[in-house]
Structure 1
Amino acid sequence: MDIELVAEGFEFPEGPIAMADGSVILTEIKGQRLTRVTPDGAKQTVVETGGGPNGAAIGPDGAIWITNNGAAFEWLDVQGMCVPGPTPASHTGGMIQRFDLESGKLETVYDACEGKRLVGPNDLVFDKQGGFWFTDHGCSTPEGRKHGALCYARTDGSHISRQRDHLISPNGVGLSPDERVVYVADTQLGRLWAFDMEAPGQLGPQPGFAPGRVICNLPGYQLLDSLAMEASGKVCVATIINGGITAFDPDGATEHYPFPDLICTNICFGGDDMRTAWVTASATGKLYKARWPRPGLKLNFNG
């Protein structure tokens, strides 16, 4: 696959959004901001968010919705690469933010769920009803890991619910084309989960002792990050250590597309035929573009 370097010099980029004008808006987790990248590679700060902006998506209101982990990482320089480290003692939790592109207003819509503070919101996806699924990644502690969750919320601030709790490290989240399945990539497990819905915004009962269906566990030591869906139903997950994108079939078969970074964190699709893929290469602070072999799934709401 031929890949093109679009821009570099980012502080741990994530959460790319393919905009209608050909630009890409992405988050910079370490930089604590959203940045617009034009097709010629020029960069412009969109908004300073504070905390740790991770995932981003256009909502039904045309605003950018942000899963902010609340500065859940210390940042390490490892052989010239920017690597997320332990959670600092100053971390108190994360939030869901809304940024209005027209007015420039940034607000926090949710910082708790069912009376419990959000730990480290990570990724999100909007359904056809205009609500959104999001992952809470959890965080590290000196005693061990604080587990995460899969949640659902509405944009008017009226509802937020924890649909699956006590997940190890839920990261990327996406919806099947028919919106009957929520896919979640677990970072530490190298596992892609599938959660079946019984109604919009509501998961069915757990299948026995497992929280969901296991699509695939990657072999060896590979970690998973954020994801995007193909129109065919394949799930494209950014892969760490084995740097690149791993495409999962719903039946568990995989294929890997390498990119030159150990910590690839996300992918999004755009262009007239949805075959332009943008990939965030976070350890080296770069944004790449590639011609994907198949079209991505068009999101319900776009900028």
Structure 2
Amino acid sequence: MDAELICEGLQFPEGPIAMADGSVIITEIKAQRLSRITPDGRRETLVETGGGPNGAAIGPDGAIYITNNGGSFTWPEQNGLTIPGPTPASHTGGLIQRFDLKTGALTTLYEACDGKRFVGPNDLVFDRQGGFWFSDHGCSTPEGRKYGALYYAKPDGSHVARAREHFVSPNGVGLSPQEDVVYMADTQLGRLWAFDIAEPGKLKPQEGFGPGRVVANLPGYQLLDSLAVEADGRICVATIINGGITAFEPSGKTEHFPFPDMIVTNICFGGADMRDAWVTCSSTGRLYKARWPRPGHRLNFNA
């Protein structure tokens, strides 16, 4: 697949949003900011978020909602590459933020659920009703990992609920085109989970011992990051170590599209035919654009 380099010199880019004007809004986790990349490749800072802004999505009010991990990574350099390192001792938890594109106001929407502070919110997706599913990646500690979870929340700050918990490392989140399934990638396991939805914001009861259905486990040592869904229902998950995008069919069959970075973290779709794909290659600090072989699924809210 031919990929065009759009911008470089970014500080661990993530969370791409394809905008109607042809620009792409991204998070820069290491730089702690939300940025706009113009069609000619220039970077503009939209807001300094603090912490570690990771996922980003347009909500029903046209604002950008950000899953911020609260600074859950250190940033060692290895052979010129930026690598997410262990969680610093200063980390106290993450949050959900709202950025108003019109006024420039940045506010905190949620920091906890049922009195329990989030560990490291990671990715999010809005449903047709205007609520959003989001993952909490957990974090590392000297004694081992803090578990992550899958949540559902409303954008007005009135409701957040924990849908499933005790996952090793929840990351990318997406909805099937029919919105009857929510997908979640687990980074360390190289596993894509599927959870059947009973009604907006609520999952069907667990069956057996598993928290959900396993779409597929990648072989060998491959890690999964954030994701986007195609119009035909394939789930495109950014893949680490085997750098690229892995497209999962709901049946479990996979297809891999390599990109020039060991740590590929996210993909989004846009353009008139939804076949323009923007991919964040994070250890090298680059944003690429490619023509995808199939159209992506159009998100419920855009700007």
1:239 maps to what in 2?
Answer: 239
* Distance (Å, rounded) in 2 between the aligned partners of 1:208 and 1:85: 35
- Return the alpha-carbon distance in structure 2 between the equivalents of residues 81 and 42 of structure 1: 22
Q: What corresponds to 1:296 in structure 2? A: 296
The yes-or-no answer on 1:161 pairing with 2:161 is yes
Number of the residue aligned with 1:30: 30
The aligned residue for residue 88 of structure 1 is 88
- Partner in structure 2 of residue 185 of structure 1: 185
CA distance in 2, matches of 1:157, 1:283: 34
TM-score normalised over the length of structure 2: 1.00
Residue 249 of structure 1 aligns with an amino acid whose one-letter code is E
User: Within the alignment, does 1:209 sit opposite 2:183 as a pair?
Assistant: no
Find the residue that maps to 1:50 and give its secondary structure. coil
Residues 264-294 of structure 1: CA deviation (Å, up to 9, x unaligned): 0000000000000000000000000000000
CA distance in 1: counterparts of 2:127 and 2:86, whole angstroms: 33
Q: What secondary structure does 2:294 align onto?
A: coil
Query: For residue 65 of structure 1, what is the aligned residue in structure 2?
Result: 65
Q: CA deviation at 1:198?
A: 0.6
Distance in 2 between the 1:282 and 1:43 partners?
15
What is the Cα deviation at residue 61 of structure 1?
0.5
SS in 2 for 1:5: strand
What is the CA–CA distance in structure 1 between the aligned matches of 2:39 and 2:157, rounded to whole Å?
A: 35
- TM superposition outliers: structure 1 runs of 4+ over 3 Å: none
Counterparts of 1:90-105 in structure 2 under 5 Å? 90-105=90-105
In the alignment, what sits opposite 2:220?
Answer: 220
Q: Which residue of 1 aligns with 2:174?
A: 174
- Aligned match of 2:117: 117
Displacement of 1:67 after TM fit? 0.1
| Structure 2 CA distance for aligned equivalents of residues 206 and 87 of structure 1 | 31
1:77 positional shift: 0.5
Structure-1 residue corresponding to 2:142: 142
The alpha-carbon deviation at position 156 of structure 1 amounts to 1.0
Q: Show structure 1 runs of 5+ residues with no match.
A: none
Deviations 1:32-54 (A, max 9, x none): 00110011101100110000000
Distance 2:154 2:275 in 1: 30
Letter aligned with residue 16 of structure 1: P
Structure 2: how far apart are the matches of 1:225 and 1:207? 26
Pair 1:15 & 2:37 matched: no
One-letter code aligned to 1:57: A
What amino acid is aligned across from residue 29 of structure 2 in structure 1?
Answer: I
Alignment partners' CA distance in 2, 1:59 and 1:302: 8
Per-residue deviation, 1:202: 0.2
User: Aligned-pair distance for 1:207?
Assistant: 1.4
CA drift at 1:153: 0.1
Alpha-carbon offset, residue 59 of structure 1? 0.2
CA distance in 2 between counterparts of 1:111 and 1:221 reads 33
Alignment partners' CA distance in 2, 1:281 and 1:156: 33
CA distance in 1, matches of 2:226, 2:165: 19
Mapped to 1, the partners of 2:286 and 2:252 lie a distance apart of 30
Residue 48 of structure 1 corresponds to which residue in structure 2? 48
> SS at the partner of 1:31?
coil
Deviation at 1:114, TM superposition (A): 1.2
Distance of 2:199 and 2:219 partners within structure 1: 33
Q: SS at 1:25's partner residue?
A: strand
Amino acid across the alignment from 2:168 = I
| Residue of structure 2 in register with 1:79 after alignment | 79
CA distance in 2, matches of 1:157, 1:49: 18
SS in 2 for 1:84: coil
Q: Secondary structure at the match of 2:83?
A: strand
The DSSP-based 3-state class of the residue aligned with 2:297 is coil
Q: How many angstroms does 1:179 deviate by?
A: 0.2
Matched residue, 2:271? 271
Deviations 1:70-127 (A, max 9, x none): 0000101011100000000000000000000111100000000111000000000000
| AA at the equivalent of 1:231 | A
Structure 1 residue matching 2:76: 3-state secondary structure: strand
Q: Give 2:275's aligned amino acid.
A: R
- Matched residue, 2:4: 4
**Any unmatched runs of 5+ in structure 2?**
none
Question: What are the superposed Cα offsets for residues 107-159 of structure 1, whole Å, 9 maximum, x if unpaired?
Answer: 00000011100000000000000000000000000000001000000011111
| Residues 248-287 of structure 1 mapped to structure 2, 5 A cutoff | 248-287=248-287
